[in-house]
Amino acid sequence: MSKNLTTRAEDYSKWYNELVVKADLAENSGVRGCMVIKPYGYAIWEKMQAELDRKFKETGHSNAYFPLFVPKSMFEAEEKNAEGFAKECAIVTHYRLKNDPDNKGKLIVDPNAKLEEELIVRPTSEAIIWSTYKGWVQSYRDLPLLINQWANVVRWEMRTRLFLRTAEFLWQEGHTAHATRQEAIEESEKMMNVYADFVQNFMAIPVVKGLKTESERFAGAEETYCIEALMQDGKALQAGTSHFLGQNFAKAFDVKFANKEGKQEFVWGTSWGVSTRLMGALVMTHSDDNGLVLPPNLAPIQVVIVPIYKTDEQLDAITGQVNELVGELRELNISVKFDNRDTHKPGFKFAEWELKGVPVRLAVGPKDIENGTYEVARRDTLTKEIIEKDGIVIYLENLLKTIQSDLFNSAIDYRKLHTTEVNTFEEFKEVLENKGGFVSAHWDGTPETEEKIKDLTKATIRCIPLDQVEEVGKCVFTGLPSVGRVLFAKAY
């Protein structure tokens, strides 16, 4: 197959868009800003879901499901949250179509079927969930509530890009309620750590854990924890957020509990989410000009085996040997595909699986059968080795682990190279322009300075790292005193 993929050096953004479509991850739909997640892309998302879901349950959470729609009066109850999402939400106003009297076969909205109250398609579910929690919480015995939802949400973004920013996207949203401030803060931190653990060890993407500044905080939160990743083009991507909501939603929806002393108190809340945006981060962290590169933990196919043959007898001999190997690999839960299609040549197959990022490719021809070998190719390094068939199962099992950690280490190396401490605004601009990446700089702590820097450079404060070192310094822009560096970057 011919790939015709734009290279990253030519046009990173174009490379990304083409790759997502050509590797069968997703495509634009006939609905403005909404994507179709294709089976191969969805299979990766399912692997993410399964692992995250396992981690959520392990940390005591249960899944539930809440309505897609939020009545306007409920939506506006928590004012800051409403303000944050009001400008980009899909609104249902009618509940019936009727035949167009002027146009046979066409339909129009029936003006007699107007809703009494408009419904907002959920951009996030705090409002509908906290309005429900009111009925679920009476006493401290009902707390904590530890609930997660897998759902679709809609935010009417004007400029959309597959996975990175779409009008509808898939995500999970955790919503918890606690008896004390401290417990809610601990929950927010715990879930940030769950996300970091998943993204680093499963997706092989290194992240910085930190706090958002006030202006980047979730609308309605007291504090937003985040994990920030760095893409190959030097731009940052917010990979997950976990919010400490204080008592904001409890107050907006009057969710109180009787404490052990019998006194009524408002409960404390958190919410946390990751979305199909992570698919974009996956592509932009590991892939190359030949196509996707998938970490083995997320690859729907971890090992593909391509037979090289001219005669049916040759294929028979190969098939016999391969079937044995396939069985042994599956016993180890390694997902393997024997690509014995007779409609395509080996070269086409090699290119296809390379494009789709299968971590390990085995080729086997008559000579290999004779010699008792396989040709083993790594997708990440594009290197090949001849491996004897005795012992290949253990070899492959280890190779997959090696690839998983090599990908993470490469990404760590890239990030180290692209994290720069600067002490003047000249340096700041110079690094941003010529090198990109995270710029670690002192900041005076005011939203005004943050805003001005953003206007001048397009860089935002990605986070105040949790491992920030105390260091007396001067704001890179105003020269005012600062107690530690924060991370700036241009971001997705």
Q: Minimum CB separation from a copy of itself for residue 334, in Å?
A: 17
Q: Minimum CB separation from a copy of itself for residue 118, in Å?
A: 6
Q: Minimum CB separation from a copy of itself for residue 70, in Å?
A: 7
Q: Minimum CB separation from a copy of itself for residue 59, in Å?
A: 15
Neighbouring CB atoms inside 10 A of 36's CB total 13
Closer to a copy of itself by CB, 342 or 470: give it. 342
Angstrom distance (rounded) from CA 181 to CA 178? 7
Closer to a copy of itself by CB, 147 or 205: give it. 147
The DSSP call for residue 291 is B
Closer to a copy of itself by CB, 337 or 378: give it. 337
Q: Which residues contact 398 (CB under 8 A, 6 or more apart)?
A: none
Angstrom distance (rounded) from CA 84 to CA 82? 5
Closer to a copy of itself by CB, 50 or 394: give it. 50
Angstrom distance (rounded) from CA 94 to CA 82? 22
Tokens, residue 45: 């998302």
Q: Minimum CB separation from a copy of itself for residue 415, in Å?
A: 31
Longest dimension (CA), the chain: 83
| Contact residues for a copy of itself, defined by CB under 8 A | 27, 29-31, 34-39, 42-43, 45-46, 62-72, 74-76, 79, 82, 86-98, 105-107, 109, 118-121, 128, 131-132, 135, 141, 147, 151-152, 154, 156, 168, 170, 343
Distance of CA 49 to the CA centre of its chain: 11
Q: Is the dihedral of CA 114, 115, 118, 124 positive or negative?
A: negative
206, 418 in Cβ contact below 8 A?
no
Closer to a copy of itself by CB, 131 or 285: give it. 131
* Residue-wise DSSP of 235-257: -EEEEEEEEEEETHHHHHTT-EE
Angstrom distance (rounded) from CA 157 to CA 94? 22
The DSSP call for residue 422 is -
Closer to a copy of itself by CB, 45 or 374: give it. 45
The residue length of the chain stands at 492
Closer to a copy of itself by CB, 106 or 401: give it. 106
Q: Minimum CB separation from a copy of itself for residue 105, in Å?
A: 6
Angstrom distance (rounded) from CA 247 to CA 261? 20
Q: Minimum CB separation from a copy of itself for residue 145, in Å?
A: 9
Q: Minimum CB separation from a copy of itself for residue 142, in Å?
A: 12
* Residue-wise DSSP of 302-370: SEEEEE--SSHHHHHHHHHHHHHHHHHHHHTT--EEE---SSS-HHHHHHHHHHTT-SEEEEE-HHHHH
| Residue pointed to by tokens 């935002």 | 460
Closer to a copy of itself by CB, 89 or 298: give it. 89
Q: Which residues contact 465 (CB under 8 A, 6 or more apart)?
A: 208, 209, 210, 485, 486, 487
Helix ranges (DSSP H) in 364-424:
366-371, 392-417
Closer to a copy of itself by CB, 75 or 198: give it. 75
Closer to a copy of itself by CB, 75 or 477: give it. 75
Q: Minimum CB separation from a copy of itself for residue 478, in Å?
A: 33
Closer to a copy of itself by CB, 9 or 260: give it. 260
Phi, psi of 272, rounded to the nearest 5 degrees: -155, 145
